[in-house]
Structure 1
Amino acid sequence: MTTSDAHGPNASTRGIRIAVPDDAATAARLQVEFAEEFDTPTPSREVLEPRFRRLIADPDGFVLFAGDDAGGGDPTGYALVTLRPTVYCDGPLAVLDELYVMPALRGSGIGTTLLEHAIAEVLRRGGGEMHINVDEIDVDARRFYERHGFVNVEPGTDYRMLCYIRELA
């Protein structure tokens, strides 16, 4: 997960909307562009599109688009959030799987607006906590999330939380 952003003069005027299943191709395109920019592996658009369609249709996930004027233009950024049950809070635990802003527009407040809307939507759905995985070397993304109150040290401890991954298929 990578992003870079700051509050900007136009941050509050950016339109944010929740995607509908027919937006799956747009979400897949943005995900591929994101992966290509950071040279990270990702499935093709053809593989991602049905996955996004299912995720967007499921109440346990959502995609937000920024700056596409309610579907009338190309989005300038997007956020992908999934929700799952947990014993650690009363509502679902949210995972901000992706947050991407087009490179030329970073620093204009779009990422902040997307993150704020994602948090608001998670709260609206009864969520109690949000997790974000960030590559250690991605200093810009780490600063961004820390500026918005996210920490990589569990409150009451002095050691970092780690995320372990194992591909199962």
Structure 2
Amino acid sequence: MVDHELREAGPDDAGVVARLLHDFNTEFEAPTPSADEFRARFAELLDRDDLLVLLSGPVEEPTGFAYVTLRPTPYWDGPLAQLEELYVRPELRDRGIGTALLEEVVHWARHQGAEEMHLNVDEIDTDARRFYERHGFANNEPGEDDRMLFYMSVL
């Protein structure tokens, strides 16, 4: 049985979150800062009120995490939520951990007044795309056929 217990990460968890994010990026061969660089950044981020990082599983060896941020928007009174990261250790996938993390961050974002949650997924990551689509996310506006696209520029 996999532990689906969730807890909010605090500054003392910066090293754990950093290691999970580094593992995530390494698994998908994405360029990544070191776990130490992530730890330093998360030590500051995890003290903020406009984001949430959830850890799943036992304290001594978390099974995954979700990281969501809030930002102001002129489209409604509350913030816009951005799911920055959601990761479950590969050997523990397909056991409901990702669903538990996603459902909890969506619940938290709604409680903060957010009316939308955005996320980005690589087109070739069909497993992640199916996961998010199964949970109600879409790459087009309701009633529209045109796909939404994400653009970025390194500054």
Q: CA RMSD in A?
A: 1.3
Alpha-carbon offset, residue 104 of structure 1 = 0.7
1:25 aligns with 2:15: yes
Q: Match of 2:27? A: 37
Q: Give the structure-1-normalised TM-score.
A: 0.88
Percentage of matched positions with identical amino acids: 55
Q: Would the aligned equivalents of 1:19 and 1:56 in 2 still touch at CA under 8 Å?
A: yes
Structure-1 separation of matches of 2:48 and 2:18:
16
Give the superposition deviation at 1:123. Answer: 1.4
**Does the alignment pair 1:53 with 2:43?**
yes
Q: Distance in 1 between matches of 2:133 and 2:67?
A: 19
The superposition leaves residues 28-48 of structure 1 with CA deviations (integer Å, 9 ceiling, x where unpaired) of 000111111111111111211
Which 4+ runs in 1 deviate beyond 3 A?
none
How far 1:156 moved relative to its partner? 3.1
AA matched with 2:47: A
Listed as ranges, the gaps of 5+ residues in structure 1 are: 1-9
How does 1:66-85 map onto structure 2 within 5 Å?
66-68=56-58, 71=59, 73-85=60-72
Unaligned runs of 5+ in 2: none
Residue 115 of structure 1, CA deviation:
0.2
Count of equivalent residues: 155
Cα distance in 2, alignment partners of residues 141 and 55 from structure 1: 25
**What's the offset of the Cα at 1:99?**
0.4
